[in-house]
Amino acid sequence: MLVELAVRNLGVIPDARIPFAEGLVALTGETGAGKTMIVEALDLLAGGRADPARVRPGADEAVVEALLDLDGEEFAVRRVVPASGRSRAYVNGELSTAATLADLLGRAVEVHGQHGQQALLSARHQRAALDRFGGVDTAALRTARERVAELADRLDHLTGDGPSLAREADYLRYQVEEIEQLAPEADEEERLEAEEDLLAGAVGHRDAAASALALLADDGAAAELLARASGALRDREPFRAVSERLAALDVELADLVAELRGLADAIEPDDERLAAVRARRHALVQLRRKYGEHLSEVLVFLDTARARLEELSSVDASAEAVRAQLDAARTELASVAAEVGAARRAAAPGLAAAVRSHLASLALPDAQVEVAVEDGELPGAGDRVEFLLAANPGAPLAGLAKVASGGELSRVMLALRLVLSGGPSTMVFDEVDAGIGGTTANAVGAALAGLAADRQVVVVTHLAQVAAFADQQVQVAKHHDGTTTSTTVTTLDDDARVVEISRMLSGSPDSAVAHEHAVELLAASRGRQGRVR
């Protein structure tokens, strides 16, 4: 439920904080005082459009905050709308997205704005109301339709554009042949790079080896000097250890010289092979430019292309298999659609009767209601649902858009909400009582109080009869100081309620006669509701 709402610098509201009670809460005040701005604040929290024009003149930003109680867990939500720039959303003090904020508020609050009843005129909303009333599960229907659409798309892809598929196959065949002709290996470029380095520097490598061998093994070179040093120390006891190490170095040097000579002898300049290696590396680079950053990716592309080419080569067989699957899916869809359609047709009379019974208590005792169910784009599904109304005796049944006045449409919507009593724990109605008065207003007030028996209901109203049923009444008042206009929000005690309802009844809050009528109206509403507020 909605525990508290705070609004700052939104429209004519400089700063307001409203604690909300359980049950029925009435927001009242003069026309233009800013009552609807409270509903707009809730709409902002519910993900509504953040219009910078709604920021109070002179302020940098508008801020709307709410404390929500969801099954005993409290959430603090906030929406900030700057005079320029993008809006921001917060949940429990942490930066969030407007979508997350809307999802959270949607679990707690359902807002019906002044034009919200117009949604009832759409076939989609009427169908959804019937499905909800009848507990019609449409999940299998959605799944079956998605399956048919998926298979139809696949079949179109296989058969719908023959020339395009032929062009695709020809291009894939060219790509596969180009890669297969080179037959690259994943690590080939590294090996070719090493070979090119060896061949390109063959002469230099051999010259370097010859110079090193001359320094190590020629007359007067390192090997001879090492032998002479070893001989000088031989049989000299103090230098035994050094002499042994020199002998070991002599052996190691001989092995090193032999290895170096072998390596040098193995290097042969080969200009023809060097040219071939360079050409191969260039071809592999060109291949990578087309099919992947690395040769391993080129090989993956090759496998994918081969698979797609095989699929295209067997397109007729694939199409036949998909066509068989599509036929089976359409049969399944028809079966599921028939089940959903039967459930909708079975539920329609019950929904019509339930709405009709509530309309009788909302001062439409002679109203006739039917819920027509016909097939639309999907045979058997009963997806074309229309509420038919005859508000007066002898009038023909017709669609709501053709026969319902604003007040009648408001009452049909309220009756439907009474029938479909599930949903969020808080419902907000902005002038759901528009276009009615007198006895009808009493009936609407009683209906709202009944709806609030197990949930919180917030209603913006101009009718004293409706406000009198409220568990809590909040007054929204506009003030002028000669230069600026501002709105204050005040929770009324019992005495203040009498004054406000007197104003609503007669326009004269100080009228003694109006006070008597207000007291009488409050007492009567308590009696009809059967509980003390």
What does each of the 533 residues of the chain score in pLDDT, given as a tens digit? Answer: 889 999 999 888 888 888 999 999 999 888 766 777 888 888 888 877 888 988 988 899 999 999 998 888 899 999 999 998 889 999 999 999 888 888 888 778 877 765 555 566 778 888 988 998 999 999 999 999 999 999 999 888 777 666 777 788 889 999 999 999 999 998 888 888 887 887 777 767 877 877 887 788 777 678 778 788 887 888 788 888 888 888 888 888 888 888 888 887 777 787 888 888 889 989 999 999 999 889 999 999 999 999 988 877 777 777 888 899 999 999 999 999 999 999 999 999 999 999 998 888 777 888 899 999 999 889 999 999 999 988 888 889 988 878 767 667 777 877 887 787 666 788 888 767 766 777 778 888 888 888 888 889 998 888 899 999 999 999 988 887 767 777 888 899 999 999 999 998 888 888 888 888 889 888 888 776 554 33
- Position 161 scores a pLDDT of 65
DSSP 293-315: SSHHHHHHHHHHHHHHHHHHHTH
Q: Provide the sign of the torsion angle of the four alpha carbons 432, 407, 390, 384, taken in this order.
A: negative
* b/e code 429-440 from CB counts within 10 Å (16+ = b): bbbbbbebeeeb
- Position 469 scores a pLDDT of 93
- Position 531 scores a pLDDT of 44
Compute how many other C-beta atoms are within 10 angstroms of the C-beta atom of residue 160: 12
Which residues are bridge partners to 474 per DSSP? 27, 491
- Position 416 scores a pLDDT of 81
Element (H, E) at 113: none
**What pTM does this model have?**
0.57
- Position 11 scores a pLDDT of 84
End-to-end CA distance of the chain, in Å? 19
- Amino acid at residue number 116: G
Quote the longest CA-to-CA distance of the chain. Answer: 140
Q: Computed over its alpha carbons, how large is the radius of gyration of the chain?
A: 43
